Structure formats: structure tokens, C-alpha cells
Structure 1
């Protein structure tokens, strides 16, 4: 295949001027707000959902959408390259809308889980938005806009938390899914009217079988990791997920290696893209695991003399708000830097910052001002990390492969989040202590948790240095079809 420089855009500035460009940015930023309403916002009403369905299996209600997103991502990414990114983004939003409506009226937990599987398609909206931006704008402008689009809705997400809590208390948890359905439908209409369609198409057909094998295999393995602690590692359900997932992945690898046009040709991904994906897996997973730890630290008082705790030092609610503010700033700043020093160097800076800040949580576990500072800087890290990773992966792909390559970044974010969250939870559970008749996390567990997250960031830092060196030696980013 003839090489295509990534400086070529598929639509140029077809947005028709500054006003249309602003409209494009606003719509795509709101599309990413839909992702939050579908994937993470339901955690706000998790206790109410458990009571409504009469179950204690939070994992089924919580993890299903994320795991389904891993399955949807490669299929929708490939479909976008073949059929058009705008068209598939509209389909993604409509699937999320349908899933939210199913969840709102679900009479049983299993119907609700089916709705969450459909809602998981919303995860694809993130990387599809990135692919659309890279196709509609010149590279230097696209790097900045990617940061705004992927991070700009963070503050809105924080504000919506308070509104959702009030609405749920008044009307029940179902109102969250009705709101999510309404927003998804409205954004589908806006995308159809504002976002330009790409004229570039990838010749070929959608390998539906390969996509289902890959997505289903990943979802099965991650489902075992996510559900094992609640159901038991050797219980029939989680064990069946593991065996089925491994078998599906093995079958996908064997079949794909013989196909002339596979969904992803793992033999020809290219060193820089593999390094980028590994960095994303470790760094994004580490950040998500630290975010999981924050409320656990915030619920413990220093008066309990466990060696950590922030509950008696002020408003711990700020700990959960600080990362959101950091994300809003980190994404656009990373895009601006990437346009000047390159996405690889920007990604390296984000990983180095994340490593230092995560280590700082050893002190932040017992001092609120330090924890607030670390929370804010971790938000900056994740905003810069996501923007830089998408810009880096997009730069390693030809224009007709933006969808599938961007989907790989989202898949690695999801895998890293599930795996590192589980590892951290397992460490806390294995080191818990009993204080005044109640089981609580020990200082050993908390600081071991932070050490694991710091170690993951440190490994990512080593890999990102190798990535920067490889790009300086001329192995990226203008390469052709890394997924072929």
C-alpha cells in the first residue's frame, strides 16, 4: 500500500469557517459527556439500583457497560473506516440511547444488564470523535482540538453529579437513564447536522466474526477479573467467562493470521504503536486505580490511628472534584504542547508527571492539602495522557485507518482500568484489619496499593522513553496502515 502522510486530512477545513469549527468542537465535547452519562454516572445511584433489583451483585450493574465497550470498540472502529465516521458515531449514540431506555424500564436485573451492554457502545464515541477531528482539521490544529473534545466535558460531568443526585432522590434512579437517553438522542441529531462526513473510505468488508471473537474474548477475560471477587474465582459464571474469553482470543488470533483483510493484523502493528498502547494500559490503569482509592482514604479519620486518613481534615468531597478540574486543563494543554514538541514528548511529560504525583500520594494519604494537589495533578495527567495517546496513535495511522487505530487506545484504557482496579482491590482485601469490630483497610494495604500504582507509572515511564527515542529515529509518526 502506498504510504500516506498524516499531514493529509480527509476533509480539510470543510467545517466552513470558524463558526462551524466551534460548532464541531462543542458538539463532539457534548458527545463525550454522553459517554460519562452512560458509563460512569450510574455509579451515583448504584445503591438504589441494588435495592430495586434485590441483589448485592454490584459488579453486574457496574462493570457490564465498560466490558461491553471493549467488545464494541474494534467493531465500530473498523465500521467507521469503511462506512464513514459520522454515520457510525450517530449509530453509536442511538445504540446508547436504546440501551438507556431499556435500563430505565427494565423489570429484572437481566433485562437491565442487556441495556447496559447496549449502552457500552457509547465508549466508541470517544475515539470516533478523535478520528473525526483528525480528519476535519490540519494536524497542528487537530492536536489541540482533540484535547478540548476529550477533556472539555470534565467540569460539566462534575456539575451534573449534583443534579443527578437530586433528581434520583426525587424520581428514582430511572431518571438518570432517561436523561442519558435524551442527551444521546439529541447529540445524534446534532452530529448528523453539524459534523462533516469523511469522504475517505477503507476498501474491504467488516470482519464481524473477527470483531465478535476479539471483543467477546476481551470482555470474557476482563469479566472474570471484574466479577471474580464478587462471585468467586472458581464459580461457574466467572470461570466460564475466563475459559470462553481465552478460547475466543485464541481463535481470533489463529483465524486473523490467515485472513487477507483482518480486523487488526497484530503481526504488523509496528513498534511505536505497541509501545504507545502499553504506556496507555499502564498509565491509565494506574490513574483509575488511584481514583478508586481516594474515597476509601477520605472515609477514614486520622483519629482512628491507622496511619492514614483524611475524613477529619476538611471537605473530602473536593478530592473527587479536583481531578475533574485537572482533566479540563490537561487535555487542551497537551494538545497545544503536542502541536509544538510532538505527541510522543507530550505523552512522556504526562507519564513523568503521573509518576511523581502518584508517589506524592504516600504523603497525601494523611494530609488533605497534599492530597488535593495530587488529585488535581493526577487529573492534569489523565487529560494530557488521553489527548497525547490519541494524537500519537492517530499520527501512526494513515487517514483511512484512523477509526480502528483510535479504538485500540480506548480498548487499552478499558483493560488497564479493570486490571489495575482489581489488583488494588485485592491488595486492600488481603491486608484488611479489624478495628472496633469493623473490617477496614490497613496502612500496609493502602501504601502497598499506592506503591503498585507508582510502579505501573514507573514502568510506563521507561516505555515512553523508548517511544520517544523510536520516533526520533524516524519510525513514526508518518507510517502507513499500522493495522494492516
Structure 2
């Protein structure tokens, strides 16, 4: 069921351009909150005197998994603009806490609060689908989800310079200022939802679901670092599984549950499975690129890109691909539909991942396939949100969009840490120093490739089912 188009934008105009500009900047704020601090991860580790990179790296995204369903459901009940403003202010509070944190025990809770920023992305998508007619909404979603990549390319250099001059805390202060500025802009420019869902917010269910997911993902995050069978990771796993199982049993009987697991529908479930596999694979490959770029081929490990070309070009290639992939896939989806566009993205991603078998040792191939993978993730994000939104009624756009964000986070965390565990377990000594072995690197790429192949196996039945349901609805 598609949202009604009464009063919706059917073509480009000044108001729509202003709205898109604000939402692109909102998603740029998400990047300043989630990914920008990771550029100065070594400085943060030194400042807090810790080697717990997993907590600093994954805490905000894990918190986003907890925040997403609660804020998505709240947006359906209370209005998307209102909840987006609240999300930005929560993220601001978390950023300020991180900026003044005297130790790790204050910094990590700050990152957990700041992780609410993840919800801004899917709320932006839900707003677009409400204020735009379906055809133009597909294009606008592509711009909103990928447009911030343009700003990220330039901001990375500025981020590193500011951190070097003023300390990493300046990044969190900037994130807080941007969040407040965007909250004001959203309140003034974004219209409030015309469509809301009467009901209450199942806070208990949200805590069980978010806590369950975060517990399991924390096990994956910390198990690779501390050991899969040590006490703390196992306690997190047990707590996560228990909370998730409790949520599933209770929500399947509640009439007003956070997520109606009984009525998700096969197409939506397939969409989420495709996205968790494909986006996780892409994120793991993105993690691998800087690791192989620091190793010279002369070490004889079977891979290595150091000295073959400008590293900045290699690292910028995925960002350029994302910037182009989102809008292009939105335009293509207006002609062939989001499901077929998603299938095309899966094919491209499979080719790009397999191409990295060559790309880890040949610089031109690395740049090309890194660009192709970036283009793929632009396609996946845009098509995933467009397809999931088209499968949900207007009054459930917030919660369904949040599910897309949840599976993206799950895929990213799981495959990133699985890949890291593979590399750590296959290191060899070169020049007296432990380095990643060729076997480890190629096993890493194999795992990512298998994930994309599995996504391809699932996406084609998804295309058939989506087409069948469209034919059925027309008749």
C-alpha cells in the first residue's frame, strides 16, 4: 500500500529543493556523529589510555540498533518531524557528553546516547515518502541517502586537521553544533506528518528488542577482541539472546507490539535478508581496503598496494561511488521498480567484491572495484529504503524504515568483526612484525563474496514475488 499523494510533491520546486537540502545536511550530521570520530580512533585510545577499540568503534552503531525501533514507532504515532527534532537533540546531548568526558566510563555512555543519530537517516526517508508522490520519492530518497557523501569527501581532510590542532574533542563539539542547527532547520522547513497511527509506544518491547540485538552484536564485537568463550562476551550473548527471545514471544501475542512479526510479509522479510547480507559484505570490504593499502607488494605476501598510487584516490573512490549510486538508482527505480534495481545492485556488488581478489595487489583494479562497491552501496541503500517503504502502509513507514537501518547495522557489525577475527587468526611474521597473511586476506574476501552470492540467491525470488503482488493489486 502506497502513501496517499494528496498535497504531495509531484515535481521539483523551491520548497522541495529546500527540504532535500535540509535532509541531506541532517544525514551529514549522522556521519559527523557516527563515522567522523573513527578517523581519530588512535588519538582517542591514547587519550583514554585504553586498547578497547571495539567499544569506541562500535558503541554508537550498536546504540543506534537500540534506538531505531523505538524512534521509528514513535514517529508513526507522534509525527516524523517531531521525533526527528528530538533525535537530533538527543544526539547533541551525547556529543557534548563525549566532548567533556574525563574517562572512558563517561565517554562510552556519551557515544551510546549519540547513537540516536542513526535514526535521523531512516526518519528522513520516511518524511520523503510522505511528502512526495511515489515516482519522485524514489529519486529524492537516492539524493537524501547519498548526497552527504559529497560533503564527506571534503570534510575528512578538515576533520583530521581540526583534530590535530584542537584535539579530538573538537569533532564532538562540531557534531553537537550541527545537530542543534539541523534541529532548528527541520522544525522550520520540514512539514509535520499528516499521517499518524493511534496507539501507544511499547517501551518495554523496545528495550527488550534493542537490548537483545545490542547484546548479541556486542558479543560479536567483543568476542573477536577478548575471546569468544570468555566471561564478559558470553554474558552479553546470554543476556542478548534471552532479551530477544522474550521480546519475540511477547510481541507475537501483543495487539499493539512494536513490530508486528506476524504480518511482516515474505517480500519484506526477503528484502531485509538481502540487505543484511549485502551491506555487511560491503562494509567489511571497506574495512579491508586501508589494511591492504599500507602493505607493499614487495613483502611477498600475495597482496599489497603501498607505493603503487595515491592512497587518497583509493579511499575517495567508494565515496564518489556512493554519491552517484544513490541518485542513479532512484531514477532507474522509477522505470523498472525498486526490487529490480536492488537486484542490479546485488549483481554489481558481487562483481565488485570478486574483483577485489585482483584489487588487493593491483592499484588500478583496486580503485575501479572500490568505486564499483561504493556505487553498489548507494544503490543498496536507496533501493532498500524504496522497496521496504513500498511494501508498508503509510501509517507504518517509520517502523519499517527503522528495520532497514537495523539490518544494515547488524550486517555491518557482524561481517566487520568476522573479517577482523579471520585476519587476526591468520597473521604471519614479516620482518619480525605480525602482519595479515595472504591466506587471511583472500579468506576475508571469500566470506564477503559468499555473502553477496547468498544475497543474489534471495533477491531474484524477491523480484518475482514483488512483481506478482503488483499484478495482484492492479487486478
TM class, shorter-length: over 0.9
How far 1:231 sits from its partner (Å)?
2.6
| Whole-Å separation in 2 of the counterparts to 1:477 and 1:420 | 37
Partner of 1:200: 195
Which one of the candidate residues 49, 53, 64 is aligned to 2:48? 53
Which one of the candidate residues 322, 325, 346 is aligned to 2:317? 322
Which one of the candidate residues 207, 219, 227 is aligned to 2:222? 227
How far 1:61 sits from its partner (Å)?
1.1
8 A contact 1:11–1:135 mirrored in 2? no
Please provide the CA RMSD for this pair. Answer: 1.5
CA distance 1:247–1:476, shift in 2 (3 Å): farther
Which range is displaced more, 432-441 or 399-408?
Answer: 432-441
Q: Does 1:13 align with 2:14?
A: no
Q: Does 1:269 align with 2:272?
A: no
How far 1:477 sits from its partner (Å)?
10
Which one of the candidate residues 30, 44, 49 is aligned to 2:25? 30
Deviations along 1:324-370, one digit per CA (max 9) or x if unpaired, are: 00000000000001111100000000000000111111111110000
What SS is found at the alignment partner of 2:110? helix
| Whole-Å separation in 1 of the counterparts to 2:261 and 2:424 | 36
Please list, as runs of the form range in 1=range in 2, the aligned pairs for 1:387-426 lying within 5 A after superposition.
387-426=382-421
How far 1:96 sits from its partner (Å)?
0.6
Q: Does 1:280 align with 2:263?
A: no
8 A contact 1:396–1:477 mirrored in 2? no
8 A contact 1:67–1:219 mirrored in 2? yes
Which one of the candidate residues 443, 455, 468 is aligned to 1:473? 468
Q: Does 1:434 align with 2:409?
A: no
Deviations along 1:361-390, one digit per CA (max 9) or x if unpaired, are: 111111000000001111100001000000
Q: Does 1:73 align with 2:68?
A: yes
| Whole-Å separation in 2 of the counterparts to 1:62 and 1:7 | 37
8 A contact 1:392–1:477 mirrored in 2? no
What SS is found at the alignment partner of 1:434? strand
8 A contact 1:74–1:407 mirrored in 2? yes
| Whole-Å separation in 1 of the counterparts to 2:411 and 2:279 | 6
| Whole-Å separation in 2 of the counterparts to 1:189 and 1:89 | 11
Please list, as runs of the form range in 1=range in 2, the aligned pairs for 1:115-154 lying within 5 A after superposition.
115-154=110-149
Partner of 2:167: 172
| Whole-Å separation in 1 of the counterparts to 2:116 and 2:230 | 28
TM-score (norm 1): 0.96
| Whole-Å separation in 1 of the counterparts to 2:160 and 2:108 | 22
CA distance 1:139–1:291, shift in 2 (3 Å): same
Deviations along 1:427-476, one digit per CA (max 9) or x if unpaired, are: 11122111121111111111111111111101101100010011121269
Partner of 1:257: 252
| Whole-Å separation in 2 of the counterparts to 1:13 and 1:331 | 20
| Whole-Å separation in 2 of the counterparts to 1:153 and 1:467 | 29
| Whole-Å separation in 2 of the counterparts to 1:229 and 1:71 | 22
Q: Does 1:310 align with 2:310?
A: no
| Whole-Å separation in 2 of the counterparts to 1:177 and 1:477 | 51
| Whole-Å separation in 1 of the counterparts to 2:229 and 2:443 | 26
Which one of the candidate residues 366, 372, 391 is aligned to 2:361? 366
8 A contact 1:395–1:477 mirrored in 2? no
Q: Does 1:461 align with 2:452?
A: no
Deviations along 1:127-153, one digit per CA (max 9) or x if unpaired, are: 000000000000000000000000001
CA distance 1:307–1:188, shift in 2 (3 Å): same
Which range is displaced more, 324-333 or 54-63?
Answer: 54-63
How far 1:18 sits from its partner (Å)?
1.0
Which one of the candidate residues 165, 183, 196 is aligned to 1:188? 183
Partner of 1:482: none
| Whole-Å separation in 2 of the counterparts to 1:446 and 1:239 | 28
Partner of 1:216: 211
TM-score (norm 2): 0.98
| Whole-Å separation in 2 of the counterparts to 1:468 and 1:142 | 20
How far 1:201 sits from its partner (Å)?
0.8
How far 1:267 sits from its partner (Å)?
2.1
How far 1:312 sits from its partner (Å)?
1.8
CA distance 1:477–1:400, shift in 2 (3 Å): farther
Q: Which runs of 5+ in 1 are unaligned?
A: 480-484
Q: Does 1:355 align with 2:350?
A: yes
Which one of the candidate residues 375, 381, 398 is aligned to 1:380? 375
| Whole-Å separation in 2 of the counterparts to 1:408 and 1:287 | 19
8 A contact 1:10–1:136 mirrored in 2? no
How far 1:51 sits from its partner (Å)?
1.2
| Whole-Å separation in 2 of the counterparts to 1:372 and 1:181 | 34
